[in-house]
Amino acid sequence: MATIAPSILAADFSRLGEEVDSAVAAGVETLHLDIMDGHFVSNISFGADIAKTIIKRAKPLPLDAHLMVTMPEHYIESFAKAGAELFTFHLEIDARRQALPGGRWVYGATELRYVSRINHIIDKIHSAGMKAGLALNPPTDPKLAAPFLDKVDRLLLMSVNPGFGGQSFIEETFSKLERTAKYRKKKNLNFDIQIDGGVGIDNIRKLAALGADNLVCGTSFFGASDYSVRLKELKEALAVSAR
Ligand code: DX5
Ligand code: ZN
């Protein structure tokens, strides 16, 4: 069955430790850490020092770090030291910035310009003892990830333009996911597929049925008044899709 990954971004940061404890007590299998540098996305979240305290508190759960940063190379060592299980970075680190409403932006790749840089980062993540994830923003065609899919442990399909929690799910993600899962099967590849942004009770069943293995739930998890009840509801929806 697919895994639910609550995103700490939607937790109450003024009570971070208690929020981690409550999620762990509710029975989560993992937590998702959103790292933003204010350049790759139009927001700043937190870095390796805070991630380390969260990872320590959630031990022994394996946590994944989603780096929405322009220079992932700079953070591989500190996240490995912090104890992250998986380090995900974006394919669009050398792409062009597109303007979004409200002064925001998103990077979308239309071509692969720096294949060797991406391969190097994947190798560096593995050498540091972490699993490697490659993330794609909504404007990027998943085809561009093909050269790396035999090397990565995870492909993350963003289902919102990254930077903020609580946004609406982009429907086009369903067809992208379906195509990606079919490609994985055809080529007999082993990476898992994570979906991130606007995921909740309404769409989780369909996402799992189409081949998603890991579902990031920010607002839909930490926005609930009772995390145990919400986790049960999310898992029940997944169980239906697995039948
Ligand atoms: C967005 C982040 C997501 C976000 C998901 O930039 O990568 O992980 O926290 O939050 P929700 O589930 O609220 O869309
Ligand atoms: Zn994320």
Condensed to tens digits (0 to 9), the pLDDT of residues 1-19 reads: 899 999 999 999 999 999 9
| Cα–Cα distance, 200 to 172 (Å, whole number) | 16
Question: Among 224, 230, 169, 231, which Cα is nearest to 197's?
Answer: 169
Whether 213 is a known active-site residue: answer no
Share of the chain above pLDDT 90, in %: 96
Pairing between β-strand 32-36 and β-strand 64-68 as defined by DSSP bridges:
parallel
pLDDT in tens, 15-67: 999 999 999 999 999 999 999 999 999 999 999 999 999 999 999 999 999 99
What SS3 state is found at 141?
coil
CA distance 77 to 97: 27
Please tell me the distance between residue 126's alpha carbon and the centre of ligand 1 in angstroms. Answer: 25
Burial 2-25 (b: 16+ CB within 10 A, else e): bbbbbbbbbbeeeebeebbebbbe
> Among the residues of the chain, which ranges form H helices?
16-26, 48-58, 76-82, 115-127, 173-186, 204-209, 219-222, 227-242
Least confident of 129-138, 187-196, 232-241: 232-241
Residue of minimum CA distance from atom 4 in ligand 1: 165
The DSSP call for residue 162 is T
Query: Looking at residues 200-204, what average pLDDT do you find?
Result: 96
Catalytic residue among 37, 64, 192, 196: 196
CATH code of the domain made up of 3-242: 3.20.20.70
184 pLDDT band, cuts 50/70/90, is: very high
Instruction: Compute the CA torsion angle 166, 182, 175, 33 (nearest 10 deg).
Output: 10
Mean pLDDT calculated for residue range 96-113? 94
From the CB of residue 44, how many other CB atoms can be counted at a distance below 10 Å? 12
Of the two residues 35 and 241, the one the predictor is more confident about is: 35
Q: What is the pLDDT of residue 205?
A: 95
Q: Whole-angstrom Cα distance, residue 163 to residue 44? A: 8
Q: N- to C-terminal Cα distance for the chain?
A: 10
**How high is the mean pLDDT of the chain?**
97
Rounded to an integer, the average pLDDT of 231-240 is 92
**Three-state SS at 75:** helix
Query: Position of tokens 């990476």?
Result: 191
Looking from the CA of 155 toward its CB, the CA atoms found within 13 Å total 27
Does residue 9 line the site of ligand 1, with CB under 6 A?
Answer: yes
Q: To test the ligand 1 pocket, which listed residue (164, 169, 221) has its Cβ within 8 A of the most ligand atoms?
A: 164
Distance 90 CA to ligand 1 centre (A): 15
Q: In a 3-state reduction of DSSP, which class is residue 114?
A: coil
Euclidean distance between CA atoms 156 and 66, whole angstroms = 9
* Mean pLDDT of the region 178-196: 98
Confidence category of residue 240, pLDDT binned at 50, 70, 90? confident
User: 114 C-alpha vs ligand 1 centroid, how far in Å?
Assistant: 27
Query: Which atom of ligand 1 lies at the shortest distance from residue 43's CA?
Result: 6
Q: Is the pLDDT of residue 68 over 70?
A: yes
Using one digit for the tens of pLDDT, what is the confidence trace for 121-150? Answer: 999 999 999 999 999 999 999 999 999 999
Band the pLDDT of 242: cuts 50, 70, 90: low
199 lines ligand 1 (CB under 6 A): yes
Residue 86 has pLDDT above 60, yes or no: yes
Q: What is the pLDDT of residue 241?
A: 61
Strands 131-136 and 154-158: parallel
Model confidence at 243: pLDDT above 60: no
